[in-house]
Structure 1
Amino acid sequence: MIVQMTKQEFDSLNDEALFHACFKPLILDYKHRMAQENSTMVKVHFYKELTSGQKALFVFHIYYDHVIESEAEFYWWSAYFIAQPKIWSAIKTGLQYFGEGNMFHLLEETESVIKRHNGPSSLEKFVVKREDLQNNKELSESIKPLYSNFNEIANLTIKRISDFIRFNHEDFIKIID
């Protein structure tokens, strides 16, 4: 699942393109496996096959792709991942792996707000709705600045991850001639 590209191609990619290029083969392989058998064991086996860097990239990219869409999506998907402690922990650990303290602290703050507003501790207790923001002014006022901050620092996070990839490309990319 290591991406293969020429040195010229590698050097020509901007931060966002590199971020996506290293993720694409991972998500394609994951979706292919899940289409064959959607089970927890398939997910665990897939994840175990990744390098440490790929694990960190995969979990953050999955989170990013879902929450960037809107304030309601930021709230709902954050709550959904928080309700899965292993996944939520992996996302935060991945940010630490990349040295991304700003986004890590934002996720910690997001978790605190969601838990303060009776966020779920497991999927069995998951009753969060996107409409919760419309129905709970206090919750909405707490989520709004978090989503705004997410949008402000997401590009810096992508840059930091891409810089990490550039200096540790062997975990993500095989340079071919």
Structure 2
Amino acid sequence: MIIQMKRQEFDSLADEALFNACFKPLILDYKSRMVKQTENSSMAKELFYKELTTGQKALFVFHVYYDHAIESKAEFYWWSAYFLAQPKIWSAIKVGMQYFEEEPMYLLLEETELVLKRYNCPNPIEKFAVSREDLDRNSELSASINPLYIHFNEIAPLTIKRISDFIRYNHENFVKIED
């Protein structure tokens, strides 16, 4: 599932544009497969994921998390809890940050996990009962999440830059360059 790109386009893309260009074909393929899937979507998800390179896996899981979590403090809280309730996904996001040698975001994920566990998150996904409104109902929880979300917003652009730099120097895991 390596995307093809002309050398000139690859070299001219800004960091966020490269980050998105390598992700877009993956998410489109994923969504297409999910639409076609009528019965066992978890099996289809696993098959899709297995077809990705290690780099694409790392990019895919982080990008999905980032796209949702960046929207607001409530979204950051909910999506972090949601993925934490699915240990394979949460672990994949953290492993992805290690793959990209992205320690600041990895440490933030670890800290977020500790805070969520302090507030009895996650339940197993089958019993997932986290609500975005939890932050309105629990001022202590909200106060604990707020600095994490602020920090997420501060470091996310640097994470995207470092992931893009990684892609530039290891493009064969993401892009086939055509001259």
TM-score of the superposition, structure 1-length normalised?
A: 0.98
Match of 1:168 among 142, 164, 170: 170
Matched, 1:157 2:138: no
CA contact (8 A) 1:84 1:121 kept: no
Report the identity percentage: 73
1:7 equivalent to 2:7? Answer yes
Matches within 5 A, 1:118-129: 118-129=120-131
Runs of 4+ aligned residues of structure 1 deviating over 4 Å after TM superposition are none
- Within the candidate set 102, 105, 117, 2:104 is matched to 102
Paired residues for 1:15-164 under 5 Å: 15-37=15-37, 39-164=41-166
1:155 Cα deviation from its structure 2 partner: 0.4
CA contact (8 A) 2:123 2:129 kept: no
Deviations 1:101-127 (A, max 9, x none): 000000100011011011123112211
The separation in 1 between residues aligned to 2:177 and 2:83, in whole angstroms, is 34
How many angstroms apart in 2 are the aligned matches of 1:160 and 1:89? 20
Structure 2: state its 5+ residue gaps: none
Aligned residues of 2:55 and 2:173 also touching (Cα < 8 A): yes
Stretches of structure 1 that go unaligned for 5 or more consecutive residues are none
SS in 1 for 2:5: strand
Q: Distance in 2 between matches of 1:13 and 1:21?
A: 9
For residue 115 of structure 2, give the secondary structure of its aligned residue in structure 1: helix
CA contact (8 A) 1:67 1:77 kept: yes
SS at match of 2:131: coil
Take 2:124 and 2:50, find their aligned partners in 1: how far apart are those partners?
23
| Residue type of the alignment partner of 1:116 | R
Q: Deviations over 1:22-73 (max 9, x none)?
A: 0000000000011000511111110000000000000000000010000000
- Please give the secondary structure, in 2, of the residue aligned with 1:69: coil
Q: Report how many residues are paired.
A: 177
Task: Measure, in 1, the Cα distance between the counterparts of 2:53 and 2:75.
Answer: 29
SS at match of 1:175: strand
Q: CA RMSD in A?
A: 0.7
Paired AA for residue 158 in structure 2: L
> Scaled by the length of structure 2, what TM-score is found?
0.97
